[in-house]
Structure formats: structure tokens, C-alpha cells
Structure 1
Amino acid sequence: MPRLTTSLRVAAAVRQATAWGAWAGVVRKGDADAGAILLCLNRLDGSHALLAESRDAEGTLGWHPLGAGTPLDAQGLAAAIERQLSYDPDLWVVEMEDKQGRNPFCGEG
């Protein structure tokens, strides 16, 4: 079964964020077809979360926080992104500003 391209998934997530009244944008474009995605959640209170997508043993897509799930400051966020880019140069980085910390890739809201 064909899967959606990363560029299409990112575009849909940005639209979802906009529909919620939040801001989201692409900070870095990776491989358009199959690049992995990092989501930077800016909660607008000085704290950030960095989420990475991954698949479980059955192939189901899910999201997990990087950095042990603790809130990151701007410097910690930048360092974590750079570390991930050193492992995967095809990575997409999407930033979202949302006080509720919602994930537009999950459609929650």
C-alpha cells in the first residue's frame, strides 16, 4: 500500500495547526518522499518540547519526546536538533507555537 510522502504529511500538519489557530512552519526541509520529521513545540512560556516520529514493531507511527521528555530551553532545543541532523541529514524540522502543546501530526485538538 502506498504511503503519503513526507512533504505532503508536513503540509497537512501545518494546515492543521493553522486550523487550530496556532502557528506552524517548516524550519528545515528534508527528503521530500521519505524524510523523518522532528516537531519542535514552543509552548510560548519559554519551554520547548522536541518530538520525533518512530514506528513500533507492527509499523504503527507514533511520536516520542527527545531529551527524556523534559522541557528544553532554546539552546537545548538547538543542540538536540543539531545532534539529530548529524545522524540523519534528510530530516525535516517543523516548529509549532501552541500554548497547549498539541501535535498536528496526530490530529488531536
Structure 2
Amino acid sequence: MLVSGLIRQAEAHGGFAAVLRKGDRTAGAILLLRREKGQNPALFERFPSLDGPAAWTRVTIEDIDIEEKISIFIARRVVRDPDIWVLELDVPSAERFTDILASMN
């Protein structure tokens, strides 16, 4: 349900969304690969919070060869969590991406 909501929100905010990897419908974690008009890739993961709803956190990856490092990170996460979902959201701006995440809490 969260995955389809993210896709709808991305499209409603003038962006594009694609499922890069389908995970388990009920148990899989979700990784978001964000792009701004095809550029500036950044990876986000949702983590539980002790004092409220789960929060999306940017995964820290060095900018050198970022595309390759993102692919390696995702591949390692799939090995550890075979139920994981990977979505790509290509949005017009970082502000719209923030709005999408805020609307899903």
C-alpha cells in the first residue's frame, strides 16, 4: 500500500516513479532512489522511530561514482533482505520529493 501511494504521489507532484525491485507485499523494507529530472541521485530508507512514525533517512554515499555505489549498496541490501522493495522517484525538485515523503507519514 505504501509503495502504490508513493508512486501516486510522485505522479501527482509532476514526477515519475518506477518499481526497480518488487519485495514482499507485507514484510519488505523500502529503498527510494530519488532523482531530480534524471540527475542528482540520492538513496533514502525508512527507519522506525522511537517517538513517532517511521522517518525517511538519506543513505550516506560518497559522491564519487555515486551511480555505481548506489547499485552496490542496493545489491548488498537485497542479499541481507530478500523482501526489500526498491523504487525510483524522478521528481522536478528536492522540495517536491520532501512533500511526497511528508504526505506519506
C-alpha distance in 2 between matches for 1:59 and 1:32: 23
TM-score after normalising by structure 1: 0.79
State the partner residue of 1:5: none
Equivalents in 1 of 2:26, 2:38: separation in Å? Answer: 34
Cα distance in structure 2, aligned partners of 1:33 and 1:105: 20
| Runs of 4+ residues over 6 Å off in structure 1 | none
Residues 1-109 of structure 1 mapped to structure 2, 5 A cutoff: 8-44=1-37, 46-58=39-51, 60-67=53-60, 71=63, 73-101=66-94, 102-103=97-98, 104-107=100-103
Q: How many residues align?
A: 100
Q: How far did residue 80 of structure 1 move?
A: 1.3
Counterpart CA distance in 2 for 1:79 and 1:9 is 25
* C-alpha separation in 1, matches of 2:35 and 2:70: 10
Question: Which segments of 5 or more consecutive residues in structure 2 lack a partner in the other structure?
Answer: none
Aligned to 1:3: none
What letter corresponds to residue 85 of structure 2 in structure 1? W
Residue-by-residue CA offset, 1:2-51 (whole Å, 9 max, x unaligned) = xxxxxx11101101110111001111110101211000001236421100
Q: CA RMSD in A?
A: 2.1
Considering Cα pairs closer than 8 Å and 6+ residues apart, tell me whether 1 or 2 has the greater RCO: 2
Cα distance in 1 for partners of 2:101, 2:39 equals 22
Q: How far off is 1:94 after superposition?
A: 0.5
Structure number with the higher helix fraction is 2
